[in-house]
Amino acid sequence: MREKSFSYFGWVIVGISFVILALTYGVWYSFSVFFVALLREFGWSRSTGAGAFSLFIVIQSVVGPFAGAMVDRLGPRAVILSGSLLLGTGLALSSTIQTWWQFYIFFGVITATGLGTTGWIANSTIVQQWFQEKRGLAVGVISAGIGAGILICTPLAQYFISRVGWRTTYLIMACVVPLINGSMAIPFLKRPPHVSPACSSEARPPQAATDDSWILNKEWASRSWTIKEAMATKQFWLLTFSFFVTGISTQSILTHQVAFFVDKGLEPLRASYIVGMLGMVSMAGKIFWGMMSDRKGREETYFVGIFCAVCGLVSLITYHFLAAPVLPYTYAFFFGMGYAVVAVLPAIVSADFFAGRSFGGIFGAIMVLNGLGGAIGAWLAGFIHDHLHSYFSVFIIMIACFLAAGHAIWVAAPRKFVVVPGRRIRGEKRLK
């Protein structure tokens, strides 16, 4: 009965994290439509405007390890509540800006700190404490919340910007996001009953505590990893490199996609619908990739997703020269699937290697360079466009980044450390 109750409430936690991430990352990915509005009002260069977003990505990534560690120590409720309030404060202040440096402080620092506290590191840490067998599916579902945020919030933000202006739209977001996040965090978010701040080296469901048939490297899995110990491994740095270059590639594209389509003659609202479609695809894709990684393996799943991302970029390159109406939708589908895999797999693969009571801090440390890569990518794309007046070179560079990321995950080889549930079941059938 205790195991059944544990499993049921774990899926409640997944639902809560899904909603929190949808709202939180709706703020992140709606920047692409605010970006166009801000450029029009203030006349900033694209590198100056994108620089605020680069700072935003850096700050939220630096905050991530602390948020993960605080979830480990203080529990999820306090972390999500404090982060939501800070996020709302930053958005409210962003609605008042008159200069670029104010935007850098209010959005790039304060809003980013709130998002880093309530975002991916904190929620993936929460969820991995509740799951072992279906970790890929659970993480895929909460990651789909980010896709839901792109799907709903980006077109909705553009709609409100068109009707009431970007300042009022920021104020609306400043009220809605903390209110909903707080109302869900207070009654529902709590620690797993088997995890406490000072004990339990492995955060696993009770039914998995004595079942280690999924472990290939038992010496590795038996260690109670600390951040310092994790950083001494090759796997830590291979994961860090992979997530660094995917940060460069995804954020350069997601930040500038609306500006690219507007440059090619699309109306901003229609461009926002393309972004919304990408969000819808990524929402389904994250659940799909999470399930596939449980059945087929982490590396194979990652490589197929990387191939999809490359196809999406090829669609943009083709659209650069030939404005065929179908190509933006082809881009949205393939890049949405590619973005989905590089969004959902990092938490799953990192947990395969370093699950335990310090996972939040370790995963946060791994993802710091992902944030730095995202900051570089957002700024670099703007810098290249300012000098070459084209995004063509950006697309070529990002294809190379995606391929390098896939190679690093293959070398890290999670398949040599744990057996995913699907392969374990097939292996058991073969033994019979």
Position 198 scores a pLDDT of 34
Contact indicator for 306, 406 with CB cutoff of 8 Å: yes
**Burial class for 377, CB neighbours closer than 10 Å (0-12, 13-18, 19+):** buried
3-class SS of residue 169 = helix
135-139, 164-168, 352-356, 365-369: least confident range: 135-139
**Please, which residues bridge with residue 418 across strands?**
215
Q: Is 409 or 192 the better-scoring residue by pLDDT?
A: 409
Give the rounded distance of the alpha carbon of 52 from its chain centre: 19
CA angle 270, 272, 276 (to 5 degrees): 115
Q: In whole angstroms, give the CA distance from residue 142 to residue 14.
A: 6
* CA distances (Å), origin 297, targets 300, 353, 414: 6, 14, 9
Q: In whole angstroms, give the CA distance from residue 80 to residue 67.
A: 9
Residue 237 CB neighbour total at 10 angstroms: 17
The amino acid sitting at 304 is V
Give the rounded distance of the alpha carbon of 392 from its chain centre: 25
**Burial class for 295, CB neighbours closer than 10 Å (0-12, 13-18, 19+):** middle
Contact indicator for 50, 58 with CB cutoff of 8 Å: no
Q: In whole angstroms, give the CA distance from residue 379 to residue 90.
A: 21
Looking from the CA of 127 toward its CB, the CA atoms found within 13 Å total 32
Residue 163, pLDDT above cutoff 80:
yes
What phi-psi label fits residue 356: left (phi over 0), alpha (psi between -120 and 50 degrees) or beta? left
Q: Which residue is listed with tokens 């310090």? A: 358
Res. 425 pLDDT band, cuts 50 70 90: low
- Mean pLDDT calculated for residue range 53-70: 84
Contact indicator for 317, 260 with CB cutoff of 8 Å: no
Task: Please list, residue by residue across 379-400, b when 16 or more beta carbons sit within 10 angstroms of its beta carbon and e when fewer do.
Answer: bbbbbbbeeeeebeebbebbbe
Q: Is 430 or 282 the better-scoring residue by pLDDT?
A: 282
DSSP state at residue 1: -
Q: In whole angstroms, give the CA distance from residue 13 to residue 230.
A: 27
Q: In whole angstroms, give the CA distance from residue 270 to residue 262.
A: 9
As a whole number of angstroms, the longest Cα–Cα distance in the chain is: 71
**Mean pLDDT: which of 31-45, 114-128, 218-232, 328-342 is highest?**
328-342
Percent of the chain with pLDDT over 70: 86
Q: Is the torsion defined by CA of 373, 232, 362, 421 positive or negative?
A: positive
Question: What H or E segment, with its residue span, contains residue 33?
Answer: helix 31-42
Looking from the CA of 356 toward its CB, the CA atoms found within 13 Å total 17
Q: In whole angstroms, give the CA distance from residue 251 to residue 248.
A: 6
CATH code of the domain made up of 2-187+215-425: 1.20.1250.20
Residue 300, pLDDT above cutoff 60:
yes
Q: In whole angstroms, give the CA distance from residue 172 to residue 227.
A: 39
pLDDT in tens, 215-271: 656 777 677 788 888 899 999 999 999 999 999 999 899 888 888 998 888 888 788
Q: Which DSSP string do the residues of 264-297 spell out, in sequence order?
A: TT--HHHHHHHHHHHHHHHHHHHHHHHHHHHHT-
Residue 375, pLDDT above cutoff 60:
yes
3-class SS of residue 418 = strand
Residue 212, pLDDT above cutoff 70:
no
- Mean pLDDT calculated for residue range 39-43: 89
Q: Is 211 or 430 the better-scoring residue by pLDDT?
A: 211
Spell out the domain ranges in the chain. Answer: 2-187+215-425
Position 330 scores a pLDDT of 96
